[in-house]
Amino acid sequence: MRLRFLGSTSEAGACPSLYETDRGTIVVQGLQVVDTEALSDLRHVLEGETAIEVPRELLSDIARRVLP
């Protein structure tokens, strides 16, 4: 799998950041959610999955600029 950087709301392109893959999916780089109360609200978490917190502004900015 190859990644193409889409953008970040952080200084110097640090996390959180979004990437597009050559498989047509999105990869999120950011801080892992470790708050046990928040994690208990997740549904159907499969082995190998985790939760990453991303600012709303980053998602809306990337959606406007990159996604068709």
Q: What is the pTM (predicted TM-score) of this model?
A: 0.75
Give residue 63's region: left, alpha or beta (phi > 0; psi -120 to 50).
alpha
Q: Give residues with Cβ within 8 angstroms of 31, minimum separation 6.
A: 15, 16, 52, 53
- Please, what's the largest Cα pairwise distance for the chain? 36
The H or E element containing residue 8 is strand 3-8
HSE, CB side, 13 Å, CA atoms: give it for residue 16.
19
pLDDT band per the 50, 70, 90 thresholds, residue 32: very high
Percent of the chain with pLDDT over 90: 50
